[in-house]
Amino acid sequence: MRSGAEILEMFSGDPIVTAIPVALVYFQFSVPSTPFETAALLWQRQKMIKKSIFSTSFWQLAAKLSFLVFFAGHADGAGAARLAEFGESSMENPFDQAYWGLELASNFPAAKTSQYLSPGHAQPFITYRYCLSTGWMLGAYGGFKGLKRKDGESDLPKNLSILSLGYESLKGWRLYHPLYFFAGGKFSYLLPATAANLPLRRDDQFRAEFSGAWVAMLALKPAGKWLVTARVDRWRGLATTRLEGLETALGVLVNF
């Protein structure tokens, strides 16, 4: 069996998995060579944990939490044997199982991205949402995030259209029927292009990368097969610090 010191060395630098060997040492599941060695390694690790959490790796942590939300939604749905109760009401789940629709999304650059990009035109997104019987709503979507370069960079293409393909997992609560609130995480693949059309023409100034986002959404469920949504995402690329922003979207979906 590996000593506590060896385990600590294996997991250095990651704010989530570092907690596992630290806990093992603390509860004496694995005993290090000497108490002094353990104390020295723990001191080093706690410095690394603080640095990783409060640096750009925060967004890597956000992505991991998005994955946890993703698996929580699936696990919750797999064991469901009844319709969900939203909030304190005993009203049955009002949502149909699946919806297809369109969203019109606007993007606003945030943090360092706002230094060289500005908001672009609103762009449509194709959206699919699947409602589990436990209050979770899973979604898949595709579309372009529309941004523009600022006037100072005239030698480069004016528009930056970022193809975004992804998945989201949201947990819902009833506010007051027919109004519901959803919150959760989103994981996407971003491919920067010079225009929002096919075939794509890559933008050489920005690299393709994955992104993570926190999502908040209001859903209006009128009678019939329709669903109306208003959504806000705070997103950021995970490989670089060059692309991040706030996305707002209005959507209309229908159950076929």
Which domains does the chain possess?
4-53 (no CATH), 58-254 (2.40.160.20)
Q: Taking 70 as the threshold, does the pLDDT of residue 233 lie above it? A: yes
CA distance 238 to 124: 24
CB 242 within 8 A of CB 198: no
- C-alpha closest to that of 122 among 161, 156, 82, 96: 161
Per DSSP, 62 falls in state H
Question: What's the rounded mean pLDDT across residues 151-177?
Answer: 88
Residue 198 pLDDT class (50, 70, 90 cuts)? confident
Residue 99 tokens, joined: 């919806």
Q: Taking 80 as the threshold, does the pLDDT of residue 173 lie above it? A: yes
Higher pLDDT, 119 or 256: 119
Res 60: pLDDT: 53
- C-alpha closest to that of 101 among 213, 207, 18, 220: 220
Question: What's the rounded mean pLDDT across residues 34-49?
Answer: 52
Paired strand residues for 233: 215, 247
Long-range CB contacts for residues 46-55, cutoff 8 Å, separation at least 24: 48/12, 48/13, 48/18, 49/15, 49/18, 49/19, 52/13, 52/14, 52/15, 53/15
Kindly report the average pLDDT of the chain as a whole number.
76
Q: Taking 90 as the threshold, does the pLDDT of residue 231 lie above it? A: yes
Question: What's the rounded mean pLDDT across residues 184-211?
Answer: 94
Question: CA 158 → CA 166, 200, 243, 244, distances in Å?
Answer: 25, 16, 16, 18
Residue 113 tokens, joined: 């991205």
Residue 133 pLDDT class (50, 70, 90 cuts)? confident
Question: What's the rounded mean pLDDT across residues 242-250?
Answer: 97
Per DSSP, 31 falls in state -
CB 96 within 8 A of CB 220: no
Res 25: pLDDT: 36
Q: Taking 90 as the threshold, does the pLDDT of residue 126 lie above it? A: yes
CB 46 within 8 A of CB 54: no
Q: Taking 80 as the threshold, does the pLDDT of residue 96 lie above it? A: yes
Residue 10 pLDDT class (50, 70, 90 cuts)? very low
Q: Taking 60 as the threshold, does the pLDDT of residue 55 lie above it? A: no
CB 41 within 8 A of CB 5: yes
Question: What's the rounded mean pLDDT across residues 19-41?
Answer: 43
Q: Taking 90 as the threshold, does the pLDDT of residue 191 lie above it? A: yes
Res 33: pLDDT: 43
CB 141 within 8 A of CB 102: no
Res 240: pLDDT: 87
Res 65: pLDDT: 55
Res 143: pLDDT: 97
DSSP string, 86-127: -TT--PPP-S-SEEEEEEEEEEEE-GGGGGTEEE---EEEEE
Query: 159-176 and 117-119 as β-strands: parallel, antiparallel, unpaired?
Result: unpaired
Query: 98-109 and 123-131 as β-strands: parallel, antiparallel, unpaired?
Result: antiparallel
Question: What's the rounded mean pLDDT across residues 77-94?
Answer: 49
Lowest-pLDDT range of 21-30, 67-76, 123-132, 204-213: 21-30
Residue 140 tokens, joined: 């898949």
Question: What's the rounded mean pLDDT across residues 96-103?
Answer: 96
Residue 219 tokens, joined: 């859903």
Higher pLDDT, 90 or 239: 239
CB 186 within 8 A of CB 168: yes
Res 152: pLDDT: 59
Question: CA 142 → CA 39, 123, 179, 180, distances in Å?
Answer: 50, 11, 25, 24
